[in-house]
Chains A and B, each alone.
Chain A
Amino acid sequence: MATTASISISSDITDNIPFSVNANMTMYQAGTTLDLEETTGLAQRTFSGTPSQVVLIDVSATAVTPAAGGHKVYIRNTGTDKTKGFKVFLADAADDVEEIGTLYGQDWMLMPWLATDANEDIMVLPSSSEKMTIEYAVFHQ
């Protein structure tokens, strides 16, 4: 039951310094070479109206083993408008808020997720009151 991810980055920022990144990974359970075996599947949420910061992925509502170490989160802004973005946070709804960054139209992210407790819920804040859609998945143990 393998889950694999590959990234390719190419750029012409510099004329004289060739630049490209290619990397692959197989998602394993923490500290092993055993495949991850569980996933939320691919999900989607659409937001509109007055923007507010909301929980996108709730640690307590996801069947992750807290702090197991092998979890991965994929998130993508499916819109095409580069002027609109979702700010992504690691945060408890009530207090501690750490901004990760902003996903503009078509931007995606893939990161490890410890998912210890509610302080590591993943929250998003759309930049516009217009309809904006995000897709996401958790691969976990």
Chain B
Amino acid sequence: MATTTATLNLSSDMLSSPISISASSILMKAGITEGLELIEMGRGTIAESDGSKTAEFGLPTALGVDKAAKLFLVNKATDPTYYIDIDLHDTNVGRLYAGDWMFIPWGMNDTASELVIEAEPSGATCPYEFVLLQEPQTLEGHS
């Protein structure tokens, strides 16, 4: 079985008792103890002039119903004012500012699960890197 492990170390000294979180998980297929088997990774660039775009990685379809996937996405811009606006279909998730990353489970069930990205503000260009880890989707018969 393939073993993929995602580990987080988070610390914050905002409180008088600092927060320290260490979390680690072996990433499995949905609801079973078999490891994920697919990796898709790459790098892209999106400019504010591009407008909002459906992310080119992991296009969700009905073939992803009840399948597990995890997405890592990082904004590689260096200007702290540049951000990538992240939408899940038509709902805004949040903004990845320069250097920010996110790691989420992704229910790639249908087009309503599409990830939409947009660089902001005016004039911004944001390089980004992504890794999509998933279990194989349902296979279709060939045409």
What's the Cα separation between A112 and B4 when bound, in Å? Answer: 23
- Determine if A74 and B103 form an interchain contact, defined as CB atoms under 8 angstroms apart: no
**CB contact under 8 A between A69 and B94, given known A1-B13, A9-B4, A23-B74:** yes
Tell me the residues in window 38-60 of chain B with beta carbons closer than 8 Å to chain A beta carbons.
38-39, 41
Q: How far is the CB of B103 from chain A (nearest CB, A)?
A: 6
- Determine if A98 and B80 form an interchain contact, defined as CB atoms under 8 angstroms apart: no
A51 on the B face (CB < 8 A): no
The size class of the interface chain A forms with chain B is 35 or more
- Determine if B28 and A104 form an interchain contact, defined as CB atoms under 8 angstroms apart: yes
Q: How far is the CB of B77 from chain A (nearest CB, A)?
A: 12
The size class of the interface chain B forms with chain A is 35 or more
- Determine if B101 and A7 form an interchain contact, defined as CB atoms under 8 angstroms apart: yes
**CB contact under 8 A between A10 and B31, given known A101-B106, A106-B24:** no
Q: How far is the CB of A69 from chain B (nearest CB, A)?
A: 5
B139 on the A face (CB < 8 A): no
**CB contact under 8 A between A98 and B105, given known A39-B14, A108-B6:** no
- B72's partner among A4, A21, A98 (CB-CB below 8 A) is A21
A-B contact pairs, 9 of them (CB 8 A): A6-B10, A8-B7, A71-B94, A99-B109, A101-B104, A104-B28, A107-B70, A110-B8, A119-B91
Residues of A within 8 A of B (CB): 1-14, 19, 21, 23, 25-28, 30-33, 36-39, 41-42, 69-72, 74, 76, 82-85, 87-88, 90, 96, 98-116, 119-120, 127, 137, 139
